[in-house]
Amino acid sequence: KEKAANAELSFEEEAKKAGFDSAVEYLNSRRYNPYFGSFFRLRYIGTPCDGAACVIVCASELAEKYTKKAVRITGMKTATQMHKEVRTVPDPMMCGLIQDVYDQAGITDPYNQIEYMGIHEVPALYTAIAAEWAGYVKPGEGLPAMRDGRFAYDGDRPVSTHGGVVSNGHPLAGKYNIEIAEAIHQMRGECGAR
């Protein structure tokens, strides 16, 4: 019951309830906000919730059977690694994946050829870092672009226009398909103002 009641409190209110003078002190507390990884604290990310999304993938010649607004996938790749395996910046595995997908899709100038990018932005700073690695923004532009609103849905370099994974409740099962669905809706022009 106490945990459910705390879910309705702001960090400032939680801090005061726990006897801290500020939210920063509270969030730096090893007792109330312990580390669960090398860099991440328990209260660093949004509380995950349930969620789902579905993406139907089929041969191009069958797509018209299911929709009049098919989106053709020209490149896709996936990989997994343990957090402790990431030792360098930029991450060679991620950069290799990006290059493989660009090769599949014929992208040679991502800054000028890509109009929208979906990035798994947990933590939020990863948006700026990954956008630079992917060539979506020029080196050194990531953080200023993020700060200046260039990544917003109405900016010149829109990123994760659905608000990102955390804004969607960080659903564990559906997060990747939610990102794919947003990109598809963007390509179809179905997102209205965003």
15: left (phi over 0), alpha (psi -120 to 50) or beta: alpha
In terms of average pLDDT, the best of 51-55, 70-74, 117-121 is 70-74
Q: Is the pLDDT of residue 3 over 70?
A: no
Mean pLDDT computed over every residue of the chain: 81
Alpha-carbon gap, residue 142 to 77, rounded angstroms:
23
Q: Is the pLDDT of residue 167 over 90?
A: no
Q: Is the pLDDT of residue 90 over 70?
A: yes
Alpha-carbon gap, residue 37 to 28, rounded angstroms:
14
Percent of the chain with pLDDT over 70: 79
19 compared with 45, residue with greater pLDDT: 19
What pTM was estimated for this model as a whole?
0.67
Q: How many Cβ atoms from other residues are within 10 Å of residue 95's Cβ?
A: 15
Mean pLDDT in residue range 66-93:
73
Q: Is the pLDDT of residue 173 over 70?
A: no
Q: Is the pLDDT of residue 50 over 80?
A: no
Instruction: Provide the pLDDT for residue 179.
Output: 82
CA distances (Å), origin 58, targets 54, 63, 175, 183, 184: 13, 6, 21, 17, 15
Going by pLDDT thresholds of 50, 70 and 90, the confidence category of residue 126 is: confident
